[in-house]
Amino acid sequence: MEVKSISLDELVNLEGVVLACEFTADGKCVDFKARGDVTRELADKSSEYIATVTMLFNTLAGSFTELSKMNWIPQRGWLYSGGDWTVVVGGSQAVLAETAKADISRLFDLLVGRRVERLIRPSI
């Protein structure tokens, strides 16, 4: 199922977002948009880390589905918040945002909610 992604330009222009990126499953940064002092190096490393965590969640979801007999797959997204920063991941897109300035619920909805809504209410 293909879900139309929000553009990186739209994401990076949201309050509190400093980096919006698209990444591959093996951690390559395909594209990114940034504000402030965010460098290409940070975008590349962020993509690597995000892809690694995503792979871990995919593995855990499969194992837990089998163990619990509850369906946890496919994984649609995740978020982590620590210190002053939050990362929100949906599919192959991610944002890094300053927690105090960003609307984290809106970011999650934009990146992950579209995937859930599409499964609940398929278009005809």
Residue with tokens 């990126």: 21
6, two tokens: 């929000």
Domain assignment of residue 50, given as a range: 8-119
Query: What CATH number does the domain containing 66 carry?
Result: 3.30.450.30
- pTM (2 d.p.): 0.87
> Does any domain span residue 2?
no
pLDDT digits (tens, 9 = 90+) for 8-59: 999 999 999 999 999 999 999 999 999 999 999 999 999 999 999 999 999 9
> Does any domain span residue 36?
yes
> Does any domain span residue 96?
yes
Instruction: Provide the domain count of the chain.
Output: 1
Compute the distance between CA of residue 118 and CA of residue 121 in angstroms, rounded to an integer: 5
Burial bucket for residue 37 (CB in 10 Å: 0-12, 13-18, 19+) = exposed
pLDDT higher than 90, residue 123: no
> Does any domain span residue 124?
no
> Does any domain span residue 84?
yes
> Does any domain span residue 75?
yes
pLDDT higher than 90, residue 108: yes
> Does any domain span residue 85?
yes
